[in-house]
Structure 1
Amino acid sequence: MTASPSPTIRPLADSDCLTELTALLHAAYASLAVQGWNFTAVDQSVDVTRERLTGAQGFVAERDGRLVGTVAVRGPKPPGEAYIADPPPPLYTTPGTAILAQLAVHPDCRGEGLGERLMTAAEAWARDQGFVQLALDTAEPAEALRRRYERRGYATVGRIQWQGKTYVSVLMSKPLA
């Protein structure tokens, strides 16, 4: 049996199917839903996927014509713009701050370093755009996710309870020197 080629990381294209991307998010976040964490990507609609990509640079990992990973990165939110359904925390409106979201790797491709490659692409994009820090949030009880981000240089800088979520989130940031 021949091993599958390593996925290609590339910018999200207008021709990419958001229905396929949404299905990827659902598959990737299903294991978190089983733990009782209702991350937005667990069951978001295609319209929410589109909305979350508005103003963002999306990246995808593609193998054999199939989307197997994704991440989105964007600049700070204007203070009046909602973050999904909530007002954004001050960290997400700070000039010079890029926001990382929707990091997902299909369960069939876990353990291949794909999440790290996607984060590297997002961090490089943010640095190239002149952002001085990258911010993200994740469920406080999701210790493995928090450790992954900490290994990449992210530090916890706050906590937030998003509307309708079954968990408290930690806000994390990393300087982009």
Structure 2
Amino acid sequence: MSKHVQRVQSIKVAYVRRGVQPVDIRRFDPARDAFDELTDMLHRAFARLGAMGLDCTCVDQPVSVTRSRAMRGDCHVAVCDGQIIGTMTLEAPDRNSPCELYQRDDVASVRQIGIDPAWQNRGIGTLLLALADHWAATRGYAELALDTPYPAAHLIAFYRSQGFRIADTMRFEGKHYDSAILSRSAVASRALAAWSRRIELPRDVIACAA
């Protein structure tokens, strides 16, 4: 299956909970989105991990690093009322990665994923991962992988609740903690198949998650 980049329009999300404004999931657009806003959101999203003493890159990375990491793959953002409230960057196999799973031809990876604390536990994480599955599956990848600090038990519990399994453990260069490498099979979602128009996702896709 071809792995060429496809044009994707934003997805309208109608939340089950009352009082929550619609959220758009779309590609990051440098023409209207700011890398400094994206960086600030990532700092907020990773503040809890920083308080745990985990020196994750997103805890305090400069705008230049955010830009570099986002440009290495396909960066998506969750936007509400013009503000970025979540993000993830999807990447093809990385031959230079120290993680063997990220090097495999049949594995796509999720990088630089974070949700603004004010928007956590509302289903944004579940939605982003559903989109990541679709992105990977429609490009011919069999698995979707990501890494998270092993001491962050709440994150590992969330990813396990989303069907991920721990495939490996490793310590990335320059870090003071071990990372859990997680993966799950990539499956294209019928709800995300109609890329040509905005769609409302079913309730089971928008179930509350981190």
Q: Same fold (TM over 0.5)?
A: yes
Residues 78, 85 of structure 2: 8 Å contact kept: yes
Alignment correspondent of 2:126 = 116
1:128 maps onto 2:145 in alignment = no
Alignment correspondent of 1:172 = 182
Q: Amino acid of the residue matched to residue 25 of structure 2?
A: I
Structure 1's unaligned 5+ residue stretches are 80-86
1:36 maps onto 2:46 in alignment = no
Residues 7, 62 of structure 1: 8 Å contact kept: yes
Alpha-carbon distance, 1:4 to partner: 4.2
1:52 maps onto 2:62 in alignment = no
SS of alignment partner, residue 21 of structure 1:
helix
TM-score (norm 1): 0.90
Alpha-carbon distance, 1:121 to partner: 1.3
Alpha-carbon distance, 1:14 to partner: 2.6
User: C-alpha distance in 2, partners of 1:166/1:46?
Assistant: 23
Spell out, residue by residue over 1:44-71, the C-alpha distance to the aligned partner (whole angstroms, 9 max, x if none): 1111112212231111111110101111
User: C-alpha distance in 1, partners of 2:139/2:28?
Assistant: 17
Q: Which of 74, 78, 84 is 1:67 aligned to?
A: 84
SS of alignment partner, residue 77 of structure 1:
coil
1:64-103 alignment, distance < 5 Å:
64-79=81-96, 87-103=97-113
Alignment correspondent of 1:25 = 42
Root-mean-square deviation (CA, aligned residues, Å) is 1.5
Alpha-carbon distance, 1:163 to partner: 1.9
Residues 12, 60 of structure 1: 8 Å contact kept: yes
User: C-alpha distance in 2, partners of 1:162/1:55?
Assistant: 18
Runs of 4+ with deviation above 6 angstroms: none
TM-score (norm 2): 0.76
Residues 76, 99 of structure 1: 8 Å contact kept: yes
Q: Amino acid of the residue matched to residue 172 of structure 1?
A: L
1:139 maps onto 2:160 in alignment = no
User: C-alpha distance in 2, partners of 1:54/1:124?
Assistant: 20
Q: Amino acid of the residue matched to residue 95 of structure 1?
A: D
Alpha-carbon distance, 1:141 to partner: 1.1
Residues 98, 172 of structure 2: 8 Å contact kept: no
How many residue pairs were aligned? 169
Residues 59, 121 of structure 1: 8 Å contact kept: no
Residues 166, 183 of structure 2: 8 Å contact kept: yes
Alpha-carbon distance, 1:166 to partner: 2.2
Structure 2's unaligned 5+ residue stretches are 1-17, 188-210
SS of alignment partner, residue 9 of structure 1:
strand
Q: Which of 10, 21, 39 is 1:5 aligned to?
A: 21
Spell out, residue by residue over 1:126-153, the C-alpha distance to the aligned partner (whole angstroms, 9 max, x if none): 1111111111111111111111111111
